[in-house]
Structure 1
């Protein structure tokens, strides 16, 4: 108001100036001196008025300054607080909308690509797969029939032979065990490519799980990483197996209450009749004084038991049995007199409660996100669930579907690349995981036999995107899209997703070598397929598609 009053006085003075706005009855002075004197007097009058107004403004400011300052500061704080609340609310609403959109986008099935071209998955960037130009459908189909299908034609006979021999071997093992103090060995379970019908190359190799349980009154209590307190990232996907009494009593051994034979050994305490326990042999299957199963001790026990069982039945067979790889204790090899060898894998496993989850030794080279932290860490295997899922999915796919053919061709290319550049961070289990994700995202009609080249290109593109992002989630862990009919434990379904490519985040050198090997595989794929295809018959395109029965 004071400033307004000053401006009003100045404006009034200007308006009343006699030279700018002369009055009608005023006469202009005749001499210049008279005009100058009047102007000076008027100027002095204005200056006095200005000084009076300035003093009044200063007095009013001194009286009302503190109150106005407090009011202004309070008003500014109120406005800032209101603005911050408003922005916080708007940001929260925005983030909520983004999260809802992301969840809806992820839950939706993959739409068909426009124009009938399904080479790309939505979200893969739309860029062509670098270095890959697949041959024609005829060449690709002929390659599959002549190279892959022919190489695995006797898979059924191989499985039958190996299963018969393993049955006899395990029966001999049971006959050597004391039911009171020895582990009880159950029937084997066939898993992996030979039992899922995507074995790509020779030699054909069966992979068998052999569950075992402790003697009464003991029981195994699996402790998974997702059911306890948070664990480090390198231990996700692992678990420990606690040995205790079924009724929850204090741990103890019944070897002192049961009469053992002279050459019988307690597997829990390595104590025989009349022998005193020693530090070196204490806890044969457990880690030191801890009540947890030790993977190394279990593998040593299993190897010893298999060796004794083989010596008992060796006279019935005209071949030799040996452990084929020191780095993988469960790998066995049958060597015939003709020189031919038949490898197979026999792994001791522990069932996780009443589910189809099994805990296996990391020495079995089961793919994982990292190495075990200690010898008491057991790797959680979903091999039985994977077999069930493929079998269930195949029933809904069209006849002669190409999903297993895609996996076989990709596995074949990877195995040939390994011969050239050696192993990398990309394994067959990663190929299988990528296919399982695509099976869940794609419609059943997208897997017709004539779409083999499109689906193969899509599978390889999915792998490229995963490698570049260093992220490939485990198919079952934390994947709530898996059908509930699979019977997956709820704790595993609700767990945090497990990144199988996490080692690439920690090891840049390994990631770069894997990328280089992958792109070289894509570059060599067309020439390799044509080389193994030899030639394409002129009537090959008219042949009916062959089916892969799961």
Structure 2
């Protein structure tokens, strides 16, 4: 028997093996299969004996005869064709087998989920508002504002306002507030002509807080006077001439002791918003209401059927990175010259990166929405839940956040929260993280820093840790009720 005959018989056996069969076989079919198996086993033994004999004969033949046989075109192409056919059949079988396993896994998962939990997946306290629509509406409004701000402030010495950046949960694709969604934007500010900004770390001795002050410094503009006739140098012209011929510097308007003042900046921005609103196209069909705030500008716009709540923060970018110092509220009694460091822009970029990579039926935002709503009333902040899920998204492939893995991901979130509480350690997602996507740019001191522990207070206070563990147990009961009852 030659090689062609051997390969033909192996192929015949494979074809018979790959034929699908029903899960339940009758007695006649099982009897025929047993006969066929015995027949194949007999032929296999015969093939082994023939191959052994063939090997002995070939070992006695010259190497030249073997080479001549192998190099015959007909033999080479026949063997190659059969090998390609065998490989094709093998991969086809693997594909059908994988598809069958996936289908079986999906059926099993659907059975485990049950009707109540499937209903929950479709009705997880998702915000009433269309978040995408709200984000687009807010972006359009701020773009229109920026156009008019550019004209109004073109010859002034107030901060130069850049295009607003959507930050916070709504622009990440979820919201912890079901009814009252807040659309938060950050407006980067750059220094006006004749000024420069210098960021000074205001909490060098505190490991867990990073606050800055924005020092405003006057710059010489004598060389620019030849090009800009209306520009006088704040450093080298007499004060009387400056007061008579030029608007006051930023130091004289929005600063306190040479540092940019958050409260003064917010009041100035409120005045701009109120003054420019009548010129915007949105003013024809929407009503603007200004809400009180000392460190931001909060507005509410309504048209009788819809309403949007918008919070405007102000920030100064750290170099060319995605990290800013901003006017966001910090700890209690935060000074008006204190600008906390914020990583909200980098976090939004991370969620957008995940969304681009994830399949259409991914549920990472649903998991975040569910856990954020369930933990309301306990001592765990929304940012704690968000940080845990960001770490998981950076570790577990996005393909495993699909619908059929919903319960597994919820269990992962739950287990991670428990482990972090037991170890009294939850690392900040941005600071010191070496595994961020390349498109997220960080300052060198943030990228190379030691991870910041968000649970440092639990390590310092045993009573706080005990209370957190008790609240975790209560959280488990509430989560179990939600999953079992579907609400």
Please tell me whether residue 471 in structure 1 is matched to residue 425 in structure 2: yes
Question: Counterparts of 1:253 and 1:191 in 2: how far apart (Å)?
Answer: 41
| SS of residue paired to 1:354 | coil
- Shift of residue 336 of structure 1? 3.8
Please tell me whether residue 231 in structure 1 is matched to residue 205 in structure 2: yes
Unaligned ranges ≥5, structure 2 = 1-111, 223-232
- Shift of residue 311 of structure 1? 5.7
Please tell me whether residue 407 in structure 1 is matched to residue 381 in structure 2: no
**Residue 266 to residue 168, structure 1, CA distance change in 2 (3 Å):** same
Please tell me whether residue 324 in structure 1 is matched to residue 256 in structure 2: no
When normalised by structure 1's length, the TM-score is 0.58
Alignment map for 1:204-283 (pairs within 5 Å): 204-224=181-201, 230-234=204-208, 236-245=209-218, 252=235, 266-270=249-253
- Shift of residue 216 of structure 1? 0.7
1:350 to 291, 294, 316: 316
Question: Counterparts of 2:286 and 2:428 in 1: how far apart (Å)?
Answer: 40
- Tell me if structure 1 keeps the 8 A contact 2:327–2:339: yes
Question: Counterparts of 1:231 and 1:307 in 2: how far apart (Å)?
Answer: 41
1:144 aligned residue: 121
Question: Counterparts of 1:328 and 1:216 in 2: how far apart (Å)?
Answer: 25
- Shift of residue 434 of structure 1? 0.8
Which moves more between the two structures, 513-522 or 180-189? 513-522
Which moves more between the two structures, 490-499 or 501-510? 501-510
1:286 to 247, 255, 258: 255
**Residue 296 to residue 508, structure 1, CA distance change in 2 (3 Å):** farther
1:166 aligned residue: 142
When normalised by structure 2's length, the TM-score is 0.64
**Residue 181 to residue 532, structure 1, CA distance change in 2 (3 Å):** same
Alignment map for 1:526-545 (pairs within 5 Å): 526-529=480-483
Question: Counterparts of 2:371 and 2:309 in 1: how far apart (Å)?
Answer: 22
- Shift of residue 171 of structure 1? 3.3
Unaligned ranges ≥5, structure 1 = 1-134, 271-284, 419-423, 534-550
**Residue 310 to residue 375, structure 1, CA distance change in 2 (3 Å):** same
Question: Counterparts of 1:314 and 1:441 in 2: how far apart (Å)?
Answer: 45
Question: Counterparts of 1:323 and 1:402 in 2: how far apart (Å)?
Answer: 36
**Residue 360 to residue 406, structure 1, CA distance change in 2 (3 Å):** same
- Shift of residue 182 of structure 1? 2.0
Which deviations, in whole Å up to 9, do the C-alpha atoms of 1:159-207 show, x marking residues without a partner?
Answer: 2222222333333434433523222111111122222212352323311
| SS of residue paired to 1:353 | coil
**Residue 520 to residue 317, structure 1, CA distance change in 2 (3 Å):** farther
1:296 aligned residue: 263
**Residue 304 to residue 513, structure 1, CA distance change in 2 (3 Å):** farther
- Tell me if structure 1 keeps the 8 A contact 2:167–2:185: yes
Which deviations, in whole Å up to 9, do the C-alpha atoms of 1:448-483 show, x marking residues without a partner?
Answer: 321111111211221232234332211111122334
**RMSD (CA atoms):** 3.6
Question: Counterparts of 2:270 and 2:466 in 1: how far apart (Å)?
Answer: 38
**Residue 401 to residue 445, structure 1, CA distance change in 2 (3 Å):** same
| SS of residue paired to 1:219 | strand
| SS of residue paired to 1:345 | strand
Question: Counterparts of 1:396 and 1:298 in 2: how far apart (Å)?
Answer: 39
Question: Counterparts of 2:433 and 2:140 in 1: how far apart (Å)?
Answer: 37
Please tell me whether residue 501 in structure 1 is matched to residue 465 in structure 2: no
2:173 to 197, 210, 228: 197
- Shift of residue 529 of structure 1? 4.7
2:352 to 382, 391, 401: 391
- Tell me if structure 2 keeps the 8 A contact 1:362–1:378: yes
Question: Counterparts of 1:469 and 1:190 in 2: how far apart (Å)?
Answer: 34
- Tell me if structure 2 keeps the 8 A contact 1:179–1:215: no
**Residue 482 to residue 466, structure 1, CA distance change in 2 (3 Å):** same
| SS of residue paired to 1:310 | helix
